[in-house]
Amino acid sequence: MNIWKKQFSLKQLNRLNEGCAVDHLGIEFTAQGDDWLEATMTVNHKTTQPMGLLHGGISAALAETVGSLAGFCCVEQHQAVVGIELNASHLRPVSGGNMIAKASPVRLGKTLHVWQIDIRDQQDKLCCSARLTLSVINQ
């Protein structure tokens, strides 16, 4: 079942994020299915904490980015979404490589969305499990 109400190519989704925090962190939308959206981010000096590991706040930013844009694509043209709660469990330390975040809907209501975002490393090991609640607003 296709959940998308707004049709954007991956190139268009990436263009929406040019010049903002998403662009600064190197988050790139790389794949989309009928009911999921995926983005990647490289772990480097911009995304690690002083001990050289992926910063937990950056994992949260990656999760909220992919979940929020997925939610935005699921609402009517005159609507947008805003994050109201994010829970992220950091399950495994990461010191390098590419992270892949995949957002899938748990519930798509008229006023609230809940998204599950799993962040995996290049070996497909789950590193962070996040749940994002979005409020649907009129623009």
Q: What's the one-letter identity of residue 121?
A: D
Please write the tens of the pLDDT for every residue from 46-99: 999 999 999 999 999 999 999 999 999 999 999 999 999 999 999 999 999 999
Question: d(Cα 20, Cα 46) in Å, to the nearest integer?
Answer: 14
- Given its phi and psi angles, is residue 14 left (phi above 0), alpha (psi -120 to 50 degrees) or beta? alpha
**Catalytic one among 18, 64, 76, 85?**
64
Element (H, E) at 97: strand 97-108
Please give the domain boundaries of the chain with CATH numbers for all domains: 10-138 (3.10.129.10)
User: Does 64 participate in catalysis according to the annotation?
Assistant: yes
The pTM score is 0.95
Please write the tens of the pLDDT for every residue from 81-96: 999 999 999 999 999 9
Question: d(Cα 19, Cα 29) in Å, to the nearest integer?
Answer: 15
